[in-house]
């Protein structure tokens, strides 16, 4: 085998002179001018055609086919590559939208957790206040029972003194009045009041109880 048929251009080239590493990387075209009858042509100008899609596109398509043949895998054509890139971009956009949506949902979840924590603290504070009020109410009820018991005892004491006053002489009546005054003074001191009559003070205690 002394010659190679180039899979790109179809020309036959000698294997002795075949060295692609020394080829020019750019794609050139040339203008030729005639040298006269029977004298052939000469190159007058060489220029790059990399920007000419009509030239570079068929070359790129052919290179893809040759590369796929050599590497044993399918090389996408320009159109297929464009479709694939468009699909990749679409998937990337979807992934970005899903990511933003996930971030929004996470932010809302954090906000809901903060609200739940706030209302949990509020519920705990309300429960503690209610327990304090219940304890205070129980204390007031105990205090009221004590006053009712004391008022009943004083009422019985007053009734007893009244009955004794009715059956005693003037001296005993004076002693009873002094004792009733002492009771009235005790009630006024305890209730921080200034009742003039013992009956009024006892009625006050009964109403307060």
**pTM exceeds 0.75:** no
- Three-class HEC string of 127-151: HHHHHHHHHHHHHHHHHHHHHHHHH
Question: Of 4, 125, 122, 112, nearest to 66 (Cα)?
Answer: 4
Residues in the chain, pLDDT under 70: 1, 74-81, 164-173, 208-209
Q: Enumerate the β-bridge partners of residue 32.
A: 43
Give the whole-angstrom CA distance, residue 116 versus residue 114.
Answer: 5
The count of other CB atoms within 10 Å of the CB of residue 155 is 15
pLDDT, residue 71, reads 80
Tokens describing residue 47: 């220029």
Tokens describing residue 109: 């979840």
Give the whole-angstrom CA distance, residue 106 versus residue 160.
Answer: 80
Could you state, in order of their start, the residue ranges of all structural domains in the chain?
Answer: 3-72, 139-208
The count of other CB atoms within 10 Å of the CB of residue 161 is 17
Q: In terms of C-beta density within 10 A (0-12 exposed, 13-18 middle, 19 or more buried), how is residue 184 classed?
A: buried
Give the whole-angstrom CA distance, residue 69 versus residue 74.
Answer: 8
pLDDT, residue 208, reads 64
């Amino acid at each position: 085998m002394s010659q190679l048929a180039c899979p790109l251009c179809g020309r036959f080239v000698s294997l002795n002179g075949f060295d692609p590493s020394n080829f020019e990387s750019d794609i050139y075209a040339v203008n030729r001018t005639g040298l006269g009858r029977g004298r052939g042509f000469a190159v007058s100008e060489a220029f790059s055609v990399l920007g000419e899609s009509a030239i570079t596109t068929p070359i790129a398509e052919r290179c893809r086919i040759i590369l796929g043949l050599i590497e044993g895998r399918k090389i996408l054509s320009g159109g297929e590559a464009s479709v694939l890139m468009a699909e990749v971009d679409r998937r990337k956009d979807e992934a970005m939208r899903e990511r933003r949506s996930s971030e929004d949902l996470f932010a809302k979840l954090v906000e809901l957790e903060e609200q739940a924590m706030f209302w949990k603290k509020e519920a705990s504070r309300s429960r503690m206040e209610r327990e304090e009020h219940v304890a205070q109410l129980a204390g007031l009820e105990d205090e009221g029972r004590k006053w009712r018991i004391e008022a009943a005892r004083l009422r019985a004491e007053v009734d007893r003194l009244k009955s004794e006053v009715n059956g005693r002489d003037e001296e005993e009546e004076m002693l009873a009045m002094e004792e009733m005054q002492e009771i009235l003074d005790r009630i006024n001191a305890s209730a921080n009041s200034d009742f003039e009559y013992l009956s009024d003070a006892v009625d006050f205690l009964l109403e307060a109880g």
